[in-house]
Structure 1
C-alpha cells in the first residue's frame, strides 16, 4: 500500500519559495527500494521518511531522487512541522544515519534542529583546483578572509566564499565534472557563500549528487557554515547569523543559525515550513 505523502516547502512561509520536501509520517514497513521509488516519484531534492519508535522517538531516513543521504536539514524542518501539525508542537528526537538530532517545534510551527557534533577539515589544494574549474571561478574572486574549507554537521560540504555578490550571482557550472568530484569525495552540496556583513550571509548550493542543479535552502550546509565560521573565529558576538538562499533562482529562503560556545553541543538551525497544496 502506498503511504500518504505530504509535500512541504521549508525555510519559507510561501509555498512558491523555500526548498520543497516530501514527507512520509509513517514509513514503517517500507523497503529501501520503495522509499527510493517514492522519492524519485515526488521529484524533490529530498523526501523524509519517519518511522515512530516504541520509546516515542522517530527514526528518519532521507532520499533524493537518485540516492539516500545521511542527513537533510530542510527535509527535517519540513517533516517536523508536518509532524507537529499532526500531533501538536513540542520536542522531538530524530535518529538519523548521521546521529541523534533533537528538534523543537514552537506554537507558531517554527522548527529548530540541533545538529550532530560538527567537524571541520582542510580542503585539499588539488580538489579546490578541480572544484573552481568546474565552477569557472578564479582564486582571485574568493574572499581572502574566508579561505576554502570543509565542514560537517551531518553531511560534508566544501565552503567557498566569494569576494562579491556579483560573483555568487553568476553561477553556471559543469554539472558532470562537479558531480564526479562530489561523488568521489562524499560531499553533499557545495556551499557557495558571500558575507554581506558579520550577521548576514548569502548562499547558493549546487547539488548534482541529488540530480538537482541547485538547492534553494540547505539546512545541513547552514549548520556546517556555522561550524566553519566558529573554527575561524569569524562569528559575530551574538554567535548568530542569518542565511539568505534561493533568491537567485526565484525561491527565496531564510535560515537562522545559532552556534553555541561549545560547538560539540551541535549547531542550531531554525526555520518555518508550509504545506504545498495538492494540484
Structure 2
C-alpha cells in the first residue's frame, strides 16, 4: 500500500533553508508501528500525523525515526501550512490536540504560522564540565554568568550558552556522551547558542538530539521557545519590554533558518509562548507501507 506524504521546509530563511518535515493527512487508520515505520522511511527529524479530534480541530502525533515525541514545533508549522495549502483551512486560529496538551495555532494572512507552546518551566542546573566535555569544548568557552539549564515549553532541552559563533561552529559533539547526558536529565537534547549573530538576531543556535536519532537539527521550534523564555528570565534582552525574539539556526548545516518567538507577559511572568515562521518547498512523495 502506498501512502501520500507531504514534505515542506519549516522556518526557512532561504529556498534551501529551513527544517524539513513530513506531514501525513487522514492518519486515523495508521497503527503506531506504521507511523514509526513511515517516519523512518522519510528520514526527517520529525513527521506529523494528522487525525480527527473530539476536543480540538485536529489531533497531531509526532514521530522521529526512532520514536514518538510529545510535541514538535517545526512539524506543527509544516502541518498547518499543508492544511492551508490544500484548502482544508483558511487563515485563523485553530486548536491542535497533542501529547503535550491542547495548543492553539495561528495561521496568518501572509501564510506564516505561529504555534502556541506551554508557559515555561525551569528545571535542573546542569554541570558545566560534563556538558563541555561532551561537546569537546572548554568550560571557559561557555558564558559563565548564565546557567546551563533544563528548560521546557513542551519538551525538555538543555540550554547551553557559548561565547561566540566561532566556538559554536567549532563544536564536534561526542554524540554517545550527548545521548547519555540527555537521557540522564530526561531531555530531548542540547540547544547551544551564542548572542553573536549574522543578521542582528537575538541568538545564533545549534541543536543536537542524538538520543532521538537527530544528530543535528536545522530549526527547532520547541527549543527556541524555551530559549526565548530563558533569555527573558535572565535579563538578556534590551529591556523587560522585549517580548519578540528572532533566532538563527541551521547555518552550520547550510540550511539557513529563522525562528520567531513571541512571549505574552503579565507583570514580569511569561504566560504564553508563540513560535513560528515561514514555510517553503511544499512537495509530495509516496511511501510504501
Match of 2:276 in 1: 270
1:90 aligned partner: 92
Instruction: Kindly state the Cα deviation for residue 265 of structure 1 after the two structures are TM-superposed.
Output: 2.9
Note if 1:49 corresponds to 2:49: yes
Comparing 7-16 and 65-74, the one that deviates more: 7-16
The residue number in structure 1 matching 2:180 is 180
Alignment match, 2:261: 257
User: By how many angstroms is 1:191 displaced?
Assistant: 0.6
Shift of 1:145: 3.6
Greater strand fraction, Structure 1 or Structure 2: 2
Task: Give unmatched runs, 5+ long, in structure 2.
Answer: none
| 2:125 equivalent in structure 1 | 123
Count of residues in Structure 1 that have an aligned counterpart in Structure 2: 277
Q: Following TM superposition, by how much is the alpha carbon of 1:55 offset from its aligned partner in structure 2, in angstroms? A: 5.6
C-alpha contact 2:217 2:250 (8 A) present in aligned 1: yes
Contact map agreement 1:240 1:258 (CA 8 A) in 2? yes
> Separation in 2 of the partners of 1:112 and 1:273?
11
Tell me, yes or no, if structure 1 residue 105 matches structure 2 residue 107: yes
Q: What residue is the counterpart of 1:162 in the other structure?
A: 162
Note if 1:71 corresponds to 2:66.
no
Do the aligned residues in 2 keep the contact of 1:118 with 1:152 (CA within 8 Å)?
yes
Shift of residue 182, structure 1, vs aligned partner: 1.2
Distance 2:108 2:39 in 1: 28
Matched, 1:233 2:239: no
Q: Paired residue for 1:211?
A: 213
Determine the C-alpha separation between the residues in 1 that align with 2:56 and 2:160: 39
Gaps of 5+ in 1: none
For 1:38-67, what per-residue CA distance to the aligned partner results, in whole angstroms no more than 9, with x for missing partners? 000000000011112256511111100011
Q: Deviations over 1:95-120 (max 9, x none)?
A: 11111221111122100011022201
Contact conserved, 2:58 with 2:96, CA < 8 A, in 1?
yes
How many Å separate the matches in 2 of 1:142 and 1:261?
A: 29
Distance 1:195 1:13, change over 3 A: closer
Cα pair 2:5 2:284 within 8 Å, conserved: no
Secondary structure of the residue that 1:229 maps to in structure 2?
helix
| 3-state SS of paired residue (1:143) | coil
**TM-score between the two structures when normalised by the length of structure 1:** 0.93
C-alpha RMSD of the superposition: 1.9
TM-score, with length taken from structure 2: 0.90
